[in-house]
A and B are shown apart, each in its own frame.
Chain A
Amino acid sequence: MSFFGKLSWNAIPFDQPIPLTAAATVIALFTAVLVWIAVKGYAPYFWKEWITSVDHKRIGVMYCVLGLLMLLRGFIDAIMMRTQQALAFHAQGYLPPEHYDQIFSAHGTIMILFGAMPLVVGLMNFVVPLQLGVRDVAFPTLNSVSLWLTATGALLVNLSLVLGEFARTGWLPYPPLSELRYSPGVGVDYYLWAVQIAGVGTLLTGINFITTILKTRAPGMTYLRMPMFCWTSLATCLLIIAAFPVLTATLAMLTLDRYLGFHFFTNTAGGNAMMFTNLIWAWGHPEVYILVLPAFGIYSEVISTFSSKPLFGYRSMVIATMFICIVSFCVWLHHFFTMGAGGDVNAVFGIASSIIAVGTGVKMYNWLFTMYGGRLRFTTPMLWSMGFMITFITGGMTGVMLAVPPADFLLHNSMFLVAHFHHVIVGGVVFGVLAAIAYWFPKAFGFRLHEGWGKAAFWFAFVGFYVTFVPFYVLGFLGMTRRMQHYNVAEWYPWIMASAFGILILIGGIVCQVIQLVVSIRRREELRDVTGDPWDGRSLEWATASPPPVFNFAVLPHVGGVEAYWNVKQRAREDLRLGQEPHYEPVEMPRNSPTGFICAFFATVIGFSLIWHIWWLAILGFVGAYATFVGFAWRDVPEYVIPAEDVARIDRANRAVRQEALAGAPPS
Chain B
Amino acid sequence: MVSCRRIAVLVPYALACAPKSSLADSILSPAGPVSAGDRIILLDALVIMLAIVIPTMLTTLAFAWWFRASNGRATYRPNWTYSGRLELLVWSIPTLVIFFLGGVIWIGSHQLDPFNPLRSAAKPLEIDVVALDWKWLFIYPQQGVASINRLVVPVGVPLHFRITSASVFNDFFVPRLGSQVYAMNGMTTQLNLMADRPGRFLGLSAQFSGDGFSDMVFDAVARPHAQFSQWVAEARARGPMLDRAGYRALLRQSRNVAPYTYRGVMPGLFDAVAARAVPQSDGPKKRGAIPSGGT
Contact = CB atoms under 8 A, between A and B. Distances in A.
Nearest to A90: B10
A247 B79 CA distance: 45
B21 A490 contact: yes
B173 interface: yes
B180 A401 contact: no
B284 A184 contact: yes
Contacts of B178: 409-410
A151 interface: no
Interface in A157-179: 160-166, 168-170, 174-177
Nearest to A361: B94
A404 B287 CA distance: 42
Contacts of A479: 25-27, 173, 175-176, 202, 204
B182 interface: yes
A278 to B, nearest CB: 12
Nearest to A309: B78
A406 B214 contact: no
A97 B213 contact: yes
Interface stretch (A5-13, A235-243, A577-585, A641-649): A5-13
Given A312-B81, A494-B14, A339 B21 contact: no
B42 A406 contact: yes
Contacts of A308: 69, 76, 78
Interface stretch (A248-256, A411-419, A654-662): A411-419
A170 B208 contact: yes
Contacts of B80: 309, 312, 372-373
B105 A493 contact: no
A168 B292 CA distance: 12
With most chain B CB atoms within 10 A of its CB, the pick from A86, A166, A374 is A374
Contacts of A174: 168-169
Nearest to B91: A362
B67 A358 contact: no
B104 interface: yes
B245 interface: no
A272 interface: yes
B105 A347 contact: yes
Given A267-B185, A369-B86, A488-B217, A102 B206 contact: no
A89 interface: yes
A652 interface: no
A193 B100 CA distance: 45
A346 B38 CA distance: 14
A631 interface: no
Interface stretch (A202-210, A289-297, A375-383): A375-383
B182 A336 contact: yes
B14 A490 contact: yes
A2 interface: no
A372 B94 CA distance: 20
B121 interface: no
Contacts of B10: 89-90, 493
A83 B286 CA distance: 31
B154 interface: no
A38 interface: no
Interface string B258-295: 00000000000000000010001101101111111111
B196 to A, nearest CB: 17
A13 B294 CA distance: 7
Chain B at the A interface: SS class: mixed
Contacts of A316: 87, 90-91
A406 B41 contact: yes
B29 to A, nearest CB: 10
B143 interface: no
Interface in B205-220: 205-214, 217
Given A176-B167, A268-B280, A409-B178, A340 B190 contact: yes
Given A176-B167, A365-B90, A393-B53, A410 B295 contact: no
A364 interface: yes
Contacts of A103: 295
A370 B186 CA distance: 54
B210 A168 contact: yes
Interface stretch (A17-25, A124-132, A427-435): A17-25
A453 B213 CA distance: 43
A357 B294 contact: no
B113 A343 contact: yes
A409 B53 contact: no
B122 interface: no
Contact of A386 (B7, B64, B204, B213): B64
Contact of B182 (A338, A351, A371, A494): A338
Interface string A308-331: 111111101000000000000000
B141 to A, nearest CB: 20
Contact of A11 (B38, B204, B290): B290
B230 to A, nearest CB: 27
A160 B213 CA distance: 23
With most chain B CB atoms within 10 A of its CB, the pick from A16, A20, A163, A401 is A401
A165 B106 contact: no
Contacts of A268: 276, 280
B227 interface: no
A86 B108 contact: no
Contacts of B287: 181, 184
B75 A373 contact: yes
A411 B74 CA distance: 44
A573 interface: no
Contact of B24 (A170, A357, A491, A494): A491
A346 B109 contact: yes
Contacts of B28: 477
A343 B190 CA distance: 13
Interface string B111-150: 1111110000000000000000000000000000000000
B292 A15 contact: yes
A11 B206 CA distance: 32
A184 B212 CA distance: 16
Contacts of A182: 167-168, 210, 281, 283-284
A274 B187 contact: yes
Contact of A314 (B14, B81, B176, B295): B81
Given A19-B293, A374-B67, A404-B45, A497 B11 contact: yes
B168 A177 contact: yes
B169 A177 contact: yes
Given A160-B295, A414-B206, A184 B289 contact: yes
B241 interface: no
Contacts of B292: 10-16, 164-165
Contacts of A91: 6
B94 A362 contact: yes
A405 interface: yes
Contacts of B79: 310
B56 A181 contact: no
Nearest to A367: B60
B252 interface: no
Nearest to B50: A397
Given A313-B87, A340-B182, A477-B26, A412 B171 contact: yes
B101 interface: yes
A410 B39 contact: yes
Contacts of B113: 342-343, 346
A274 B208 contact: no
Contact of B169 (A20, A164, A166, A273): A273
A87 interface: yes
Contacts of B276: 267-268
Q: Which 3 A-B pairs have the closest CB atoms?
A: A19-B294, A373-B77, A361-B94
19 contacts: A87-B6, A97-B213, A101-B211, A160-B295, A176-B167, A184-B289, A271-B186, A340-B189, A346-B113, A372-B63, A372-B77, A375-B69, A393-B56, A394-B53, A400-B101, A413-B207, A477-B27, A479-B176, A491-B17
Given A13-B292, A397-B46, 13 more contacts: A6-B290, A11-B290, A97-B212, A102-B295, A184-B286, A308-B76, A340-B182, A350-B109, A361-B94, A368-B63, A375-B74, A486-B214, A490-B21
